[in-house]
Structure 1
């Protein structure tokens, strides 16, 4: 992350560098799994500055698009999700104040370049289901300690 007082001053943060590293990893057959966190919408969302949060989201959208394209070209499965929202609600209409806290809104779970015949369960997923889904895609048995269930039917 850049050394700035608040992230609205540099909403792109380090997204481009992170993206370039992920693109290299996707092309590298040594990696079976790559996890990336684009913190921009969350960290910039905490500032309450709508214009900066919008820019942060645009930068991440561009990066995710590049990564998705590379995954398709290299026959790599990509999962896209989040553990909470933030930037999608930037203003509290009732209080007439900026909203800077995490939201409890549902977040997407998208599989890009899924193996043939992969179907997701309908709308009943939770954060605890993400790791079992990753394990299933990697062909790894889920440990008994994991309470979640794969999102794949």
Structure 2
């Protein structure tokens, strides 16, 4: 009986880019890694946008990549879920938000939102404010 081995190797931050002068991985001296690519079957994964449950074109990150590899399927990220809820107005049916606004209305008080604001889309996005 033959024994075949498989290795799943995840190298955070390592990728296959455009092979230009600014592509650090392509221009690095990586003899061991290069020999592995040449000697053994291998593949790459798409780690951005809709391939990993993010909006189209949105860069992935370590957490997103690990979640998707571990699940073996697309894991829709909160960023994409919130975008969809804003787009189809289902956010208006969020029970927590409804309760907060009802409390504010009944008691004549303000609702304060607190959180992160950026255009990066990793832990927040400014589009969710409008």
Q: Shorter-chain TM-score category?
A: under 0.3
More helix by share: 2
Higher share in strand: 1
- When Rg is computed on C-alpha atoms for both structures, the one with the higher figure is 2
| Structure of greater relative contact order (alpha carbons < 8 Å, 6+ residues apart) | 1
